[in-house]
Structure 1
Amino acid sequence: MTIPAPEQVKAALDVAPEWFAPYIAVCAFAGLRLGEAAGLQLADVDFLRRTISVSRQIQGNTKASAEVVPPKHGSERCVYAADELLQVLARHVETTGVFGREKWLFGAGGTYFNRNSAADRWRQVREAAGIGAFTLHDLRHFFVSGLIAEGCDVVTVQRAVGHATPSITLNTYSHLWPIAEDKTRTAGSMLIAAVLDNSADYPRTIRKASQ
Structure 2
Amino acid sequence: MAQKRNPRSSVEDRWHRADGSPSKAYAKGKRWRARYVDEQGQDHARSFERKTDASRWLNEVIAAQVTGNYVDPRRGAITLKTFYQDWSQRQVWVRGTLANVDLAVRSVTFGDVPFNDLRPSHVETWVKDMLERGLQPSTIKTRFNSVRAVLRAAERDRLLPRDPAANVRLPRSARPEAAMQIPTPAEVGQLMDGCTEHLEPLRAFVVVCAFAGLRLGEACGLKVSDIDFLRGEIQVARQSQKGEIRAPKYGSSRTLYVPQEVVTELAEHVRKFCPGDDPDRWLWSTAKGPWTADIVQPRFVRLREKVGLGYTIHHLRHYYASGLIAAGCDVVTVQRAMGHQDATTTLRVYSHLWPRAEDRTRRASAAMFAESTADALRTGTARESSDLR
- TM-score for the superposition, normalised by structure 1: 0.86
Corresponding position of 1:72: 249
Corresponding position of 2:293: 115
Partners of 1:58 and 1:94 in 2: how far apart? 22
Alpha-carbon distance change, 98 to 2 in structure 1, aligned in 2, over 3 angstroms:
farther
Corresponding position of 2:205: 23
Report whether the alignment pairs 1:184 with 2:366: no
| Structure with higher RCO (Cα < 8 A, 6+ apart) | 1
The structure 1 residue matched to 2:281, chosen from 76, 80, 103, is: 103
Partners of 2:283 and 2:349 in 1: how far apart? 29
- In structure 2, list runs of 5 or more residues that go unmatched: 1-179, 381-389
Partner SS for 1:43? helix
The letter of the residue matching 1:120 is P
Q: Is the 8 A contact 1:147 1:157 kept in 2?
A: yes
Report whether the alignment pairs 1:151 with 2:328: yes
Q: Is the 8 A contact 1:39 1:57 kept in 2?
A: yes
Partners of 2:268 and 2:348 in 1: how far apart? 37
Q: How does 1:164-203 map to 2 (within 5 A)?
A: 164-197=341-374
Partner SS for 1:52? strand
Corresponding position of 1:6: 185
Partners of 2:274 and 2:374 in 1: how far apart? 54
Partners of 1:198 and 1:7 in 2: how far apart? 40
Displacement of 1:196 = 4.4
- In structure 1, list runs of 5 or more residues that go unmatched: 61-65, 205-211
Indicate the RMSD between aligned Cα atoms, in angstroms.
2.2
Report whether the alignment pairs 1:128 with 2:310: no
Q: Is the 8 A contact 1:98 1:106 kept in 2?
A: no
Report whether the alignment pairs 1:91 with 2:268: yes
Alpha-carbon distance change, 196 to 109 in structure 1, aligned in 2, over 3 angstroms:
farther
Corresponding position of 1:58: 240
Q: Is the 8 A contact 1:148 1:177 kept in 2?
A: yes
Displacement of 1:100 = 9.6
Partners of 2:272 and 2:375 in 1: how far apart? 51
Corresponding position of 1:209: none
**Residues 94-130 of structure 1: CA deviation (Å, up to 9, x unaligned):** 1222579631001345631111111111101000010
Displacement of 1:192 = 3.2
Corresponding position of 1:160: 337
Partners of 1:80 and 1:192 in 2: how far apart? 37
Q: Is the 8 A contact 1:42 1:98 kept in 2?
A: no
Displacement of 1:187 = 1.4
Question: How many aligned residue pairs are there?
Answer: 196
Corresponding position of 2:229: 47
Which of the two has higher C-alpha Rg? 2
Displacement of 1:31 = 0.2
The letter of the residue matching 1:185 is R
